[in-house]
Amino acid sequence: MEWGNVAAWAAAFTAFVAVNASTIQWLLRRRDEQHQRDSSRVDELEKQVIELCVNLPLEYVRREDWIRFSGTLDAKLDAMREEMREEIAEVKERLYAGRN
């Protein structure tokens, strides 16, 4: 083999290694940039979840609490309805007492 051929092969090998090294560097930079973007997205999602956890008790009612509240409210309304019926019955008796 002649020295010219050896030099050409060495140059080709060096170019091949350089291209692969630059490609690997580019891929690593791209991976790091993607990791930073994903990290910032995760941070934003964590903030949103924390905000939701803070606001959730203020804006929403648990099912059990709502059932208890509505049961209490229904009982009070039923008691008021019964009182109103009794009052109406008394008023009717007084109105119609003289007509019988």
Residue pair 69/61 in contact by the 8 Å Cβ criterion = yes
- With a CB cutoff of 8 Å and minimum separation 6, the contacts of 61 are 69
Could you give the residue ranges of the DSSP H alpha helices within the chain? 3-59, 63-96
pLDDT of residue 19: 92
21-56 confidence digits (pLDDT tens)? 999 999 999 999 999 999 999 999 999 999 998 888
Nearest Cα to 82, choosing from 90, 93, 71, 70?
A: 90
User: Using CA atoms, how far apart are residues 28 and 35, in angstroms rounded to an integer?
Assistant: 10
pLDDT digits (tens, 9 = 90+) for 51-69: 998 888 887 888 888 899 9
> What pLDDT score was predicted for residue 60?
82
Q: Is the pTM of this model over 0.75?
A: no
Please check the confidence at residue 8 and state whether its pLDDT lies above 60.
Answer: yes
66-82 per-position pLDDT tens digit: 899 999 999 999 999 99
The residue type of 64 is: E
Two tokens at 5?
Answer: 């051929």
Rounded to an integer, what distance in angstroms lies between the CA atom of residue 59 and that of residue 51? 12
**What per-residue confidence (pLDDT) applies to 3?**
84
Q: Indicate if the pLDDT at residue 100 is higher than 60.
A: no
